[in-house]
Amino acid sequence: MKRVTLAAAAASLLSGAAYAETEITLWHAMGGALGDTVNAIAEDFNASQDAYTITPVFKGTYEETLTAGIAAFRAGEQPNILQVFDAGAATVIGAKGATVPVQDLLSDNGAGFDIEDYISGVRYFYADTEGKMIGMPFNSSSPVMYYNVDALEAAGVTPPKTWEEFQSVTAPALKEAGYVGLSQSHLPWIFTENFMSRHNLPFATNDNGYAGVEGTKILVNNNAIKAHWTAVTEWQDQGYFEWFGTGWGDNQTPFEEGKVAIWLGSSGSFGGLSKKDLPFEFSATYLPYWEAVTKEPKQTFIGGASLFAMAGKSAEENKATAAFFEFLTKPETQFFWHKETGYVPITEAAYELAKKEGHYEAMPAAEIGIKQLSLPAGENTKGYRMGFYVQIRDVMNREYGRILTGETDVETAFANIEKEANGLLERFAKTQK
Amino acid sequence: MKRAGFATRWLPILLLLPQLIIIAVFFYWPAAHAVQSSFYLQDPFGFGSSFVGFDNYTDLLDNSEYRRIAWFTVVFTVLVTFFSLALALLLAVKADKVIRGAKTYRTLLMWVYAVAPPVAGFIGLIMFNQSWGPLTRLFEQVGHDFTLGVNYNDTAFAMVLVSVWKQVPVNFIFFLSGLQSIPKSVREAALIDNRSASGRFWDVTFPLLAPTGFFLLIINITYALFETFGVIDTLVKGEPGNNPMTLVYKVYVDGFRGNDLGGSSAQSVILMILVLALTVFQFRMVERRIHYT
């Protein structure tokens, strides 16, 4: 390993001397196998041309990566590209002058940009008020429903389409068959944000926060979601649902162990699950919805993260960044990323390529994420833009944890979330002056 | 008696200078910066900011969650300090009596000291793993369904346990050397006066250990307040959720995770004032009662 790095370093030194390549850096939060895939893409890019070299650097969790990027920016040492996750979007997009909008970057460097090339679910999540794309969607995912095929067969049920079906048919049968019906891995993301999107409910005033920070209020304290949460606590009492803590893995493990039959996770979990050699067959389908709330369920939000070109770099380096983005959106690169990780391909062309290559014939579940993101859109499905959203999520996690441990009730919890979130939004608006 | 002194005025200042510079750069300057930021709400990237006066402070004091975290911090600090000191003292007194194999015994008691806080936290995670943790199993035996990361009290218990476990060896080393520095003659005199071992301990040994104990008290309170960060971060896996946390962890959560620089600066200032008050209190009230020999 060490020798390889040394050799690579020597090679890059030599080639640097020969061609004077422009070097750019990418700070990302992709650990483990995902990080290996990022490195593979970077190596492919470096090998594909002689003018630029990109160096990916793993900076820890999403939160740590964003904080590192901000600290570096303030010190004038920012990387060329910073990966920022969904909850950090308002922070990075709000700071005009911190980034070069990807749309401008690509057009200015002759790479061409057409927002219609991107699949509908990813177009506007990282866009500004006017719909200009600021961040390049990179690892885009959506919450989907994974299920243990063997368990559902043993219980004699099919994957539930609606929550009504889950609570009256699926969960009781699974319990009979000796399974806990359901677990999920991210309460704010799956049981809040995407609950709003799936049911086309407004999540915040000011056009879900896109129209500006001034006066934006969260609309989380509504009857539809409170009814959902009341149902969740009932499922918990009946043994249909179990919560294993705020950590992602704590809730995924019982599914992998075969204790829980249905798990709500990320479409990006697909790659990891299929490499794990689980003792049962698993598949995936759309996130259920409440028929009582809507008869026409909509697409979900993209989660994951996107890549931002940081401002304050030379034209030469920005050109290299544009070239990397162009490489990244190539159908072949997107298909490779999609196949390896389970994250959705972000362009129509890449999706077509995956279909043509027969990727979904072997694994239909791999297509669920992108199909869900391509479901009909509604006025509230393009995304949400709220500042200090990382803390708002922390507040949600705290209150939801208290609901699920019986420390508080649904009504009080949502009143608290609304109050504290609005306080944070008001504070954030003051930071933007 | 002639007072020793410096011939020139500048030499002592020159000799103090390196230390003063270090304090200025690493304490006064950041502290002043924190005080300043605490009156602003600023964009993390440094583009916009508004002066908000004491709003950051009043927001905190109005927040029931912040008060709950402050209360937890107090309880946590008292528990960790008390149990770390008490267990270490007990072990030191017992180890002091061991003659055969004393070295091995002492080394075994001390080596946990070498464990870094996040590693200690990680060991805690393993011991309390929800599906196969040995301590979880143990609690199962006595009929308690221990769920780390789900139940507030269970997580708090694990935090206290791991923090105490990590701190006992340091206290043990100090207490043991404190015990061994008590003159033999004093002990022998005590032996004649009082036949009860516990009576001798409380009347003679304990007061003589007081300087060590006072020093350790301050060290342990500081440890519980600040250095348990790694343990807490590891035990909650970086996702606080509904788990308990201390004030220092809250500063990190809001400042470094949430990028709320104003709010987290205000929290740091509050902590600074608390620690200052605590130190003054300790030296005024407690140290007076201690006799250094």
The class that CATH gives domain A16-141+302-373 is alpha beta
Alpha-carbon span A56 to A397, nearest angstrom: 31
A:B CB pairs within 8 Å:
122
Q: What is the pLDDT along chain B (293 residues), one digit of tens a residue?
A: 556 777 888 888 899 999 999 999 999 999 999 999 999 999 999 888 889 999 999 999 999 999 999 999 999 999 999 999 999 999 998 888 877 777 887 788 788 888 888 899 999 999 999 888 999 999 999 999 999 999 999 999 999 999 999 999 999 999 999 998 888 888 888 888 888 888 888 888 888 898 899 889 989 999 999 999 999 999 998 889 999 999 999 999 999 889 999 999 999 999 999 988 988 888 887 767 776 65
B133 three-state secondary structure? coil
| B63 min Cα distance to partner chain A (Å) | 9
Structure tokens at A394: 């922390």
B131 to chain A nearest CA, in Å? 9
- Tell me whether residue B30 is in a domain: no
What are the structure tokens assigned to A106, written together?
């690509």
> What's the confidence (pLDDT) of residue A17?
46
Q: Which pLDDT score is estimated for A62?
A: 92
What pLDDT, on a 0 to 100 scale, did the predictor assign at position B103? 82
Q: Which of A64, A95, A430 sits opposite B52 (nearest CB)?
A: A430
Q: Do B260 and A391 touch (CB under 8 A)?
A: yes
Please report how the helices A410-431 and B261-281 are oriented relative to each other, as an axis angle in degrees rounded to 10: 100
Whole-number Å distance between alpha carbons of B79 and B75 = 6
The verdict on residue B5 lying in a domain is: no
Strand partners, A53: A23
A431 contacts B258? CB cut-off 8 A: no
Strands A22-28 and A81-85: parallel
Two tokens, residue B160: 């206290």
Q: Mark which residues 53-72 of B lie under 8 Å from A by CB.
A: 59, 63, 65
**Contact by Cβ (8 Å): A297, A375:** yes
Pick the CATH number of A143-300+388-431 from 3.40.190.10, 3.30.499.10, 2.40.50.140, 2.40.50.1020: 3.40.190.10
What is the per-residue burial (b if ≥16 Cβ within 10 Å, else e) of B245-282? bbbbbbbbbbbbbbbbbbbbbbbbbbbeeeeeeeeeee
Containing structural domain, residue B138: 47-289
Q: Does B256 touch chain A (CB under 8 A)?
A: yes
Report yes or no on B62 lying in a domain. yes
Residue A11 to chain B, least CA–CA distance (Å) = 36
Q: Which helix (H) or strand (E) holds A306?
A: strand A303-310
In a 10 Å sphere around its CB, with 0-12 CB exposed, 13-18 middle and 19+ buried, how is residue A339 labelled? middle
Residues of chain A with CATH 3.40.190.10: 16-141+302-373, 143-300+388-431
C-alpha to C-alpha distance for B148 and B97, rounded to whole angstroms: 38
B281 has a chain A CB within 8 A of its CB? no
CB A140 within 8 A of CB A344: yes
Closest residue in A to B151 (Cα) is: A405
DSSP 8-state code for residue B46 = S
* CB burial of residue A250 (10 Å; 0-12, 13-18, 19+): buried
Is residue B87 in a domain?
yes
Enter the ipTM.
0.87
Are A405 and B150 inside 8 Å of each other by CB? yes
Q: DSSP character for B3?
A: P
- How many CA atoms lie within 13 Å of A78's alpha carbon, on the beta-carbon side? 26
Structural domain includes residue B70:
yes
| A392: closest CA of chain B, how far (Å) | 9
Yes or no, beta carbons of A95 and B45 under 8 Å apart? yes
A66 CB neighbours in chain B (<8 A) are: 259
Q: Which pLDDT score is estimated for B292?
A: 65
Residue A357 C-alpha from the chain's centroid:
25
For A7, the token pair is 């050799």
* Residues of chain A positioned with their CB less than 8 A from the CB of B149: 244-247, 250
CA distance A85 to A91: 10
pLDDT at A261: 97
Q: How many domains does chain B have?
A: 1
The pair phi, psi for residue A40, each rounded to 5°, is -65, -40
Pick A61's closest partner by Cβ from B49, B147, B238.
Answer: B238
How far, in Å, CA of A284 to CA of A276, rounded? Answer: 16
**Residue A266 dihedral angles phi and psi, to the nearest 5°:** -100, 150
Domain membership flag for residue B235? yes
Query: Which residues in chain B touch residue A399, judged by CB atoms under 8 angstroms apart?
Result: 242
Residues of B in contact with A432 (CB under 8 A): 43, 48
- For residue B55, tell me if it sits in a domain: yes
Residue B12 lies in a domain: no
Nearest by CB to residue B149, choosing from A97, A245, A424, is: A245
Residue A12, burial from CB neighbour count under 10 angstroms (0-12, 13-18, 19+): middle
Domain harbouring B208, CATH code: 1.10.3720.10
- In angstroms, the separation between the Cα of residue A70 and the nearest Cα of chain B is 6
Contacts of A430 in chain B (CB under 8 A): 41, 50, 52
What is chain A's pLDDT, residue by residue, as a tens digit (433 residues)?
A: 444 455 555 545 444 444 568 999 999 999 888 899 999 999 999 999 999 999 999 999 999 999 999 999 999 999 999 999 999 998 999 888 999 999 999 999 888 888 889 988 888 899 988 889 999 999 999 999 999 999 999 999 999 999 999 999 999 999 999 999 999 999 999 999 999 999 999 999 999 999 989 999 999 999 999 999 999 999 999 999 999 999 899 999 999 999 999 999 999 888 889 888 899 999 999 999 999 999 999 999 988 899 999 999 999 999 999 999 999 999 999 999 999 888 999 999 999 999 999 989 988 889 999 999 989 999 999 899 999 999 999 999 999 999 999 999 999 999 999 999 999 999 999 998 8
What's the confidence (pLDDT) of residue B3?
66
